[in-house]
Amino acid sequence: MLPRDGMRLFLYDSASRGIVPFEPADPERVSIYTCGPTVYRYAHIGNLRTFLLTDLLVRTLRFLGYGTFVVQNITDMGHMHQEQLEEGEDKVIAAARAAGKSAREIAAFFTEAYFRDCRRMAFLPADAYPRASEHVPEMISLVRALEERGAVYGGGGYLYFDVSKVPGYGALSGIALGEGTPAERTDPGGHRHKRRPEDFVLWMPAEPGREFQWDSPWGRGWPGWHSECAAMAIRHLGPEFDLHVGGIDLRFPHHENSRALATAATGKRFAAHWLHAAHLLVNGKKMSKSAGNEYTLDVLEAGPPGGGKGFSAVDFRYYCLTLQYATPMNFTWEGQEAAARARYRLRAAFRRAALEATSGEDAAAALRAEFRGAISDDLNMPRGLAVVHKAIRSGIGGDAARALAAEWDAVLGVGLLSEADGDGGANGVREGGEAEIPVEVASMARERESRRRAGDYPAADALREKIRAAGYDVVDAAEGKAVLRKRRETRRR
């Protein structure tokens, strides 16, 4: 099977440093590995923007007619140092420990929180979510293969990878040997036995009380972070696969090192193509717990600190789409507000256009080609969105509008034709696009809801009439939720 219309996808490749035509080994099963969350805290919006890259990639590939197989790991032990847990550097972990929760329970809790965030962000699920803690035998075999090839050395219970044994080490990230001073996050024992800064730990002894630990040919302990991802990628995708995705901060040392040890162990190429998402700042600053600016989806839903309306995860998704993935993003509340408004207007325009008589079918073909061209050009979603806005201005209507919205939303995932989204609002009144619903209408709806719950039906009905007069319908939806909808305008002749 070839992509529909023979449209080729062009993607920037971090390894070759250029935009290249994407050529998977098997177009029916494009194999993708993406570095997943570390599950001892909630994902922040910078993490979610990175994970969005994989979602946009997969949606684009499917749109172009490819089949996909996506593996996203769950790092459930890699960075979880016992001493970190005991110091209680993370408040949530400290609370969980105080309540007698184990490291495994904490990981399970945050894994579920992550999946919930994925659903809110409208991410398509991966085909496999391997847990690092369930792949230790694979990591041990990988390290044994390196040992057989004479690429390891050790001391004091630590086993290190000798990067000088890999020709071309540094090619992915562009570092030269001797230049790097990698922050070795999984090396609590220091670097006493290391021969050069770039060498990294493959296996280390377990500190007293560490919950995640295993027997190995090198003693009881646990594996280094880089061997985790390499082992899981090889186990689920084989020694060669099409695409490796992650945040730009992972390019060095994590991806450089995963690639080095995988190629050294298997003699194969590992990932053919590397894709990295740019970072996200909040008000021009890097997010950190200490600065108190680690924004999560819950923070977005609660709204700006000084008060004001909150935003749904899909509003944030739309905000991200206004920038290409390789452009650094600076999140501001004003920017989020503007993006939410733009999304609301776009959805409202499509819903109106869909109710009109079919028109603009001739323009649709050109718009289709333009959208396809935009997303095939290194996933250029801002240009894709511009085409969507242009379609509305060009006067498409009826079936033509519905067909385009459905087609494009399969890539964008911003609810172009959906009636409402987001979690339930106050008092169970869910307001699709609350941003544009007049405050007095929303407040009448809440009042009506509380009257209805109190059994005061005459008052509730009177309020429904007032809401109708203001141009809105209250629809009692499932689960006792009421939804506000703008009343459909009379069709134009």
> In the sheet that 270-277 helps form, which strands lie side by side, from edge to edge?
68-72, 30-34, 240-247, 270-277
Q: Which of 52, 72, 62, 70 is nearest to 121 (CA)?
A: 52
State the minimum distance, in angstroms, from the CB of residue 324 to Zn ion: 23
| 185 versus 193: smaller Cβ distance to Zn ion | 185
- 288-291: Cβ within 8 A, 24+ apart: 289/90
Query: In whole angstroms, what is the distance from residue 68 CA to residue 29 CA?
Result: 5
Q: Say if residue 182 is exposed, middle or buried (CB neighbours under 10 Å; 0-12, 13-18, 19+).
A: middle
Residue type for position 428: G
State the minimum distance, in angstroms, from the CB of residue 80 to Zn ion: 15
The kind and range of the H/E element at 462 are helix 457-469
State the minimum distance, in angstroms, from the CB of residue 18 to Zn ion: 23
State the minimum distance, in angstroms, from the CB of residue 35 to Zn ion: 3
| 103 versus 132: smaller Cβ distance to Zn ion | 132
State the minimum distance, in angstroms, from the CB of residue 254 to Zn ion: 6
State the minimum distance, in angstroms, from the CB of residue 78 to Zn ion: 9
Structure tokens at 451: 């009257």
| 35 versus 314: smaller Cβ distance to Zn ion | 35
| 229 versus 445: smaller Cβ distance to Zn ion | 229
Query: In whole angstroms, what is the distance from residue 57 CA to residue 7 CA?
Result: 15
State the minimum distance, in angstroms, from the CB of residue 341 to Zn ion: 36
| 123 versus 331: smaller Cβ distance to Zn ion | 123
The CA-based angle 261-75-176, given to 5 degrees, is: 35
DSSP assignments along 251-281, one per residue: IIIIIHHHHHHHHHHHSS-EEEEEEEEPPEE
| 3 versus 182: smaller Cβ distance to Zn ion | 182
Chain positions contacting Zn ion, by CB under 5 A: 35, 229
383 CB-near residues (< 8 Å, 6+ apart): 374, 375, 377
CA dist list (Å): 357 to 345, 352, 353, 397, 474: 20, 10, 8, 6, 26
| 71 versus 113: smaller Cβ distance to Zn ion | 71
